[in-house]
Amino acid sequence: MTFDRREFLKISAGAGAVAVAGLSGCATSVASARPKVVVVGAGFGGSTFARYLKMWEPKAEITLIEPNDKFTSCPFSNTVLAGINQMEDITFGYDHIKKVVDAWVQDTVTAIDTTKRIVTTAGGKTFAYDRLVLAGGIELLFDKVQGYTAEAQKTIKHAWKAGPDQTGVLRKQLEAMPDGGTFVMSVPMAPYRCPPGPYERACMVATYFKKAKPKSKIIVLDGNPDIASKKGLFLAAWKKHYGYGTDNSMIDYRPNNMPRAVDPVKMMVGTEFDDVKGDVINVVPPMQAASICDLAGVRVGLDGKPGPWCAIDYRTFESLTVKNVHILGDSTLTNFPKSGSVANNTGKMCASAIAELLNGREPDAAPVVTNTCYSASSPDTAFHVATVFRYGEGNKMVAQKGGGVSKEESELEFAYMESWAHNVWADTLGLPADYKFTAKG
Amino acid sequence: MKKSLAFALIAAGVLGAVAQAQAVDTRARFMAANCAYCHGPDGKSRGAIPSLAGLDKGYFVDQMKAFRDGSRPNTVMSKHAQGYTDAEYAALGAWFAAIK
């Protein structure tokens, strides 16, 4: 039994169901044609979305636009800094995703007309859409840090978007650093991509130093007043493995130390209190939702005013202000952590909702979704945070009781972390069952 | 996938207001897909985390209950099990049992 749109609206109104705003203004349904779905960004959110929408509504005509020719995983990129893995272990081709979508376009989106529903790329191509899905991750705001110019970025790496020019170069800088040198790294103000990532980075660089450069130090400049994620677990790991709390600590943690300026010639980072000198400097600037979100006018907060992130309807991931535009992963304004796991799962939530909408049906009124996120604390140990979120009235996602972090680090969780990585990469990129992973946990 | 009447009733109860004739329980489908980032696409794991595909439904539900009450100790699943209802355990169990 199928409903046409008018009948569906009548029925759902009669049943007292919440009206789904996205139904209006979207004329194409699978009953009459092949609806056009344009996805921008082929990371954890966008690739997963494309793969699952194709499974759940094969009639959707999916165009996936991505500037990069390879997928480099941010999760696990800290293990490259440790020397546990190499760049190639966390880098994947898009061959399998290319086979899934109707059109793969390697290009950069330069304009989005949300009235005419047309996306334009730098290559001069245009794509009409019934539904637009923006999965561009984050935009780094270098101009918020004095001196972090294009020239400075050649020397000072953020490595918060993984890739050979970032993670790969930072690893080489650490390799070139003399024993007894100082590595200065920063933690941006929350909310930021990957809350435990900076503290894991300190563990992984310390792992490398302990083995190869034991006289070296790590200064962690944290813009936040305290460790922002898995605090007890990281402090315990720093004490156990890296001498934290003793005179001989490898890690010097400094809260309330937001980097305000960098000098790549003097190799200094300036905070409000101090100028800190380093042999290798790794500053992650403040961030906001990817700039493509601004092109679509969806970088808008819950108050309807422009903001750093994109407010969405949790049932559909549609923008609260612009119809037919959906936003995934790190770009969204949610109470989810900005993790690869969440990006992957929001891709599936959105695919499930859009598959329903394209068929003139109501999406799940109360979705349930999880986050699980592992952090490596040493070359053999890891720990996690796990949470179940359930939709609540008034567009809320409520963390369910019982969630939280590991009691302690363990070798078992290190093995689980490796398994998580293989599975989330396979799930995101559609890697075949016989795919040979090379990354170690 | 063809669903049983019991399964359909669970789904209808969960979905609430809008009664629809659907070939697939799309809510269970998403909940099962949610598990893939740790347990592998279609519940077929590529590592140390166990696969879920093809597990007996009763066994699946019993394990979720055991994770919830602590009789099967586990670091991650003891947390996730507390976030789902018994009806959702059953829907997930039926879904994974049907995967060959």
Mean pLDDT of chain A: 94
Give, in order, the Cα–Cα distances in Å from B79 to each of A401, A402, B43. 8, 5, 19
Tell whether A318 and A353 lie within a shared domain.
yes
Contacts with A436 (C-beta within 8 Å, 6 or more apart), sequence order: none
Categorize the per-residue pLDDT at A367 as very low, low, confident or very high, splitting at 50, 70 and 90.
very high
Domain's final residue, options A308, A343, A363: A363
In a domain, A348, yes or no: yes
Query: With an 8 Å Cβ cutoff, are A418 and B29 in contact?
Result: no
Query: With an 8 Å Cβ cutoff, are B82 and A401 in contact?
Result: yes
Structure tokens at A262: 């960098």
In one-letter notation, the amino acid at residue A339 is S
- Do A329 and A137 contact (CB within 8 A), yes or no? yes
A273-288 pLDDT, tens digit each: 899 999 999 999 999 9
A186-222 pLDDT, tens digit each: 999 999 999 999 999 999 999 999 999 999 999 999 9
Nearest residue, CB atoms, A418 vs list B47, B75, B88:
B47
Categorize the per-residue pLDDT at A305 as very low, low, confident or very high, splitting at 50, 70 and 90.
very high
In a domain, A155, yes or no: yes
pLDDT at B24: 85
pLDDT at A6: 37
Over residues A161-176, mean pLDDT: 98
| Whole-angstrom distance, CA of residue A352 vs CA of residue A335 | 20
Categorize the per-residue pLDDT at A32 as very low, low, confident or very high, splitting at 50, 70 and 90.
confident
Query: With an 8 Å Cβ cutoff, are A17 and B17 in contact?
Result: yes
A115-152 pLDDT, tens digit each: 999 999 999 999 999 999 999 999 999 999 999 999 99
Query: How many structural domains is chain A composed of?
Result: 2
In a domain, A337, yes or no: yes
In a domain, A396, yes or no: no
In a domain, A400, yes or no: no
**Residue A362 distance to chain B (closest CA, Å):** 8
pLDDT at A398: 97
Contacts with A195 (C-beta within 8 Å, 6 or more apart), sequence order: A228, A229, A337, A338, A339
pLDDT at B14: 47
| Whole-angstrom distance, CA of residue A424 vs CA of residue A411 | 20
Over residues A28-34, mean pLDDT: 80
Instruction: Look up the domain containing A346 and give its range.
Output: 5-15+22-67+107-140+288-363
pLDDT at A3: 38
Categorize the per-residue pLDDT at A29 as very low, low, confident or very high, splitting at 50, 70 and 90.
confident
Tell whether A111 and A191 lie within a shared domain.
no
Tell whether A159 and A278 lie within a shared domain.
yes
Tell whether A210 and A310 lie within a shared domain.
no
Tell whether A263 and A328 lie within a shared domain.
no
**Residue given tokens 């680090």 in the structure block:** A409
Among A368, A385, A400, A440, most B C-beta atoms within 10 A, so best to mutate, is A368
- Does A22 have pLDDT greater than 50? no
- Does A13 have pLDDT greater than 50? no
Among B1, B20, B27, B46, most A C-beta atoms within 10 A, so best to mutate, is B46
Query: With an 8 Å Cβ cutoff, are A370 and B80 in contact?
Result: yes
pLDDT at A384: 98
Chains A, B: CB contacts under 8 A, how many? Answer: 138
In a domain, A422, yes or no: no
Nearest CA to A210 out of A183, A192, A231, A233 is that of A183
Tell whether A173 and A208 lie within a shared domain.
yes
Which residues of chain B make contact with A368, given a CB cutoff of 8 A? 31, 34, 83-84, 88
In a domain, A183, yes or no: yes
Structure tokens at B96: 């994974």
Tell whether A329 and A270 lie within a shared domain.
no
Which residues of chain B make contact with A56, given a CB cutoff of 8 A? 26, 29
| B38–A contact, CB cutoff 8 A | yes
Proportion of chain A above pLDDT 70, given as a percent? 94
Tell whether A135 and A227 lie within a shared domain.
no
Please, what are the domains in chain B? 2-97 (1.10.760.10)
Nearest CA to A46 out of A115, A104, A125 is that of A104
Nearest residue, CB atoms, A361 vs list B20, B44, B81:
B20
Query: With an 8 Å Cβ cutoff, are A365 and B26 in contact?
Result: no
Which residues of chain A make contact with B14, given a CB cutoff of 8 A? 366
**Residue B98 distance to chain A (closest CA, Å):** 17
- Does A2 have pLDDT greater than 70? no
Kindly report the number of other CB atoms within 10 A of residue A28's CB atom: 17
pTM of the model: 0.91
pLDDT at A28: 72
Categorize the per-residue pLDDT at A100 as very low, low, confident or very high, splitting at 50, 70 and 90.
very high
Nearest residue, CB atoms, A369 vs list B34, B46, B79:
B34
Nearest residue, CB atoms, B82 vs list A345, A402, A413:
A402
CATH at residue A355:
3.50.50.60
Categorize the per-residue pLDDT at A27 as very low, low, confident or very high, splitting at 50, 70 and 90.
low
Which residues of chain A make contact with B31, given a CB cutoff of 8 A? 368
| Whole-angstrom distance, CA of residue A76 vs CA of residue A119 | 33
pLDDT at A440: 81
Over residues A294-320, mean pLDDT: 98
A212-255 pLDDT, tens digit each: 999 999 999 999 999 999 999 999 999 999 999 999 999 999 99
Q: If contacts are CB pairs under 8 Å, which of residues 79-98 in chain B contact chain A?
A: 79-84, 88
DSSP A6-38: HHHHHHHHHTTPPP-GGGTT----TTTS--EEE
Query: With an 8 Å Cβ cutoff, are A423 and B49 in contact?
Result: yes
Query: With an 8 Å Cβ cutoff, are A16 and B17 in contact?
Result: yes
- Does A18 have pLDDT greater than 80? no
Query: With an 8 Å Cβ cutoff, are A388 and B83 in contact?
Result: yes
Domain's final residue, options A331, A363, A395: A363
Tell whether A271 and A292 lie within a shared domain.
no
Structure tokens at A372: 């699980």
- Do A184 and A217 contact (CB within 8 A), yes or no? no
Which residues of chain A make contact with B95, given a CB cutoff of 8 A? none
Over residues A341-364, mean pLDDT: 97
Which residues of chain A make contact with B15, given a CB cutoff of 8 A? 364-365
**Residue B62 distance to chain A (closest CA, Å):** 18
Domain's final residue, options A285, A316, A332: A285
A212-216: list long-range contacts, CB under 8 Å, 24+ apart: A212/A83, A212/A179, A213/A177, A213/A178, A213/A179, A213/A180, A213/A181, A214/A179, A215/A179, A215/A180, A216/A177, A216/A179, A216/A180, A216/A181, A216/A182, A216/A183, A216/A250
Tell whether A334 and A250 lie within a shared domain.
no
| Whole-angstrom distance, CA of residue A388 vs CA of residue A370 | 4
For chain B, list residues with pLDDT below 50. 1-22
In a domain, A406, yes or no: no
A66-79 pLDDT, tens digit each: 999 999 999 999 99
pLDDT at A266: 98
pLDDT at B27: 96
Contacts with A72 (C-beta within 8 Å, 6 or more apart), sequence order: A87, A90, A91, A92, A162, A163, A164, A167
Tell whether A196 and A166 lie within a shared domain.
yes
pLDDT at A51: 98
Over residues A15-42, mean pLDDT: 67
A375-426 pLDDT, tens digit each: 999 999 999 999 999 999 999 999 999 999 999 999 999 999 999 999 999 9
Tell whether A127 and A31 lie within a shared domain.
yes
